[in-house]
Amino acid sequence: MTDTARDFLIAPSILSADFARLGEEVDDVLASGADIVHFDVMDNHYVPNLTIGPLVCEALRKHGVTAPIDVHLMVRPVDRLIGDFIEAGASYITFHPEASDHIDRSLQLIRDGGCRSGLVFNPATPLAYLDHVMDKVDMVLLMSVNPGFGGQKFLPGTLDKLREARRRIDASGYDIRLEIDGGVKVENIAEIARAGADTFVAGSAVFKGRNAADPHRYDGVIGEFREQLAGVR
């Protein structure tokens, strides 16, 4: 694997996992080569769906998961849950700026708790929210679908937005990851990477892609992602 290929991180979204066997599913995707666990938190208020909270994050840590857990908060308000997820063992905590009354404070709360912080941009949310907080984010997450559900189609307008986000990050000089979330597939991951993303959330593509011969292995689909990424740059 080249250095460049190693720097591309694959983050399966457990939203598409079998929740009745969640610990095992997370072990299986990590053993199959995934880098990060993407953990979608939905509150039936900020988004029209209800998923999992800090108890489940803590349970994964107690189960023995040591990989980074990338908590994507789709909740309003955000601040109290930030504290709960810090306690629960989150590695990254990202939130939608529209959902916080005090964006700078929320970012600071995350870093003060020893986690990496990030802002999430819906398809229609302007990157201008980054203007005054570039020094306080470790991750910029662009939604390539409207948040709330897995299995939606990648919105192609996100590619231009990725290029713009990449420009901003490079110009800032800070070490900030650029993550993409929604509709990432083997067929489009290379184009998404060329537009500037370095961290790839994939829910349905990964969990529907289990190996036919061994239902505990996802290395077929994860290997195909890596192959596509190896051809980039």
Positions in the binding site for Zn ion (CB under 5 A): 40, 72, 181
Instruction: Measure Cα distances from 138 to 17, 37, 169, 228 in Å.
Output: 26, 16, 10, 25
Residue nearest to ligand DX5 (CB): 203
The verdict on whether 104 is a catalytic residue reads no
Residue nearest Zn ion by beta-carbon distance:
72
Q: Do 29 and 218 contact (CB within 8 A), yes or no? A: yes
The DSSP-derived string for 92-148 is EEEE-GGG-S-HHHHHHHHHHTT-EEEEEE-TTS-GGGGTTTGGG-SEEEEESS-TT
69 lines the binding site for ligand DX5 (CB under 6 A): no
Letters for 205-224 (x = contact with ligand DX5 by CB under 6 A, - = none) are: x-------------------
Q: Is 152 in the site for ligand DX5 (CB under 6 A)?
A: yes
- Pick between residue 132 and residue 199 the one whose CB is nearest to ligand DX5: 199
Catalytic annotation, pick one of 35, 40, 70, 219: 40
Q: Which one of 57, 88, 201, 221 is in contact with ligand DX5 (CB under 6 A)?
A: 201
C-alpha 38/C-alpha 12 separation (Å) is 6
Active site residue 112: no
DSSP string of 20-43, one letter each residue: GGHHHHHHHHHHTT---EEEEEEB
Contact indicator for 41, 73 with CB cutoff of 8 Å: yes
Shortest Cβ 6–Zn ion spacing (Å):
23
Instruction: Decide whether 89 or 150 has the Cβ nearer to Zn ion.
Output: 150
CB of 135 to ligand DX5, least distance (A): 26
The residues assigned a catalytic role are 40, 181
